[in-house]
Amino acid sequence: MAKKKEIVEDVSAEEKLKEAARKVFTQKGYAATRTRDIAEEAGLNLALLNYYFRSKEKLFEIIMMEKLQQLFGIILPLANDPSTSLDEKLKAIASEYIDMLSANENLPLFILNEIRSNPERFVSKMQIAKIFSDSVMIKQIKEKRPDINPLHFVINILGMVVFPFIAKPILVTSGQADNKAFGALINERKKLIPLWVKAIMKAK
């Protein structure tokens, strides 16, 4: 048997296809994506896709798991760090999340959409529950405001970070901000969000 082919190209065909799939799937969603779109984006033949990944479904599964990890993987260790204060957590989450989402602007809408069309399938595979109920961060929130369901604050934190990226197409198309102004606005929020969250946690 011959060994795996020497990689002479910059990137292997398989990786080219995965990269194309990342782009097209996150941009258009599963249903609107045709396997031919992916092959074309990769500059390769359609049959290659099925040769390497067996099916559109299987390729999507791979990309989706990657993207879920990308979106939820960041927050878990930050929210669960026993060595940081709540304020430090807020700063870290706002900063790191905003940086990551700036480089992957349509990641949130993509994930939220695919989860809605197939909830059990993907949510069960991530330790999402921990963010919302078992984390160190939740404990710290409960200490400060035992009178309010901590879920409210988690929703607010994530919403403040994520929602601008979800609303971006509307903001840009309705002329509220171009790409540059959006980037500047988003950057301001790294400092503002921790400030705001502290404020709403004190509000009575």
Partner DNA sequence: AAATATTTTAATCAGTTGATTAAAATATTT
Partner DNA sequence: AAATATTTTAATCAACTGATTAAAATATTT
| Binding site residues, its own copies, CB under 8 A | 28-32, 106, 109, 112-113, 115-117, 119-120, 123-124, 128-129, 132-133, 148-149, 151-152, 155-156, 158-160, 162-164, 166-167, 169-177, 185, 188-189, 192, 195-196, 198-200, 202-204
Say which DSSP state 154 is in: H
Neighbours of 21 (CB within 10 A): 25
Angle of helix 150-173 relative to helix 86-102, nearest 10 degrees, comes to: 30
- To DNA, the closest distance from the beta carbon of 34 in angstroms equals 3
**Residue 77, by phi and psi: left (phi above 0), alpha (psi -120 to 50) or beta?**
alpha
Say which DSSP state 87 is in: H
- To DNA, the closest distance from the beta carbon of 109 in angstroms equals 20
- The contact pattern for DNA, residues 14-53, with x = CB under 7 A and - = no contact, is -------------------xxxx-------xxxxx-xx--
Which residue in 8, 103, 170, 199 binds DNA (CB under 7 A)? 8
Give whichever of 44 and 171 is closer to its own copies, judged by the CB atom.
171
C-beta separation of 182 from 172 below 8 A: yes
Rg, C-alpha atoms of the chain = 20
Q: Residue 46 touches which of DNA, its own copies, none (CB < 5 to 8 A by kind)? A: DNA
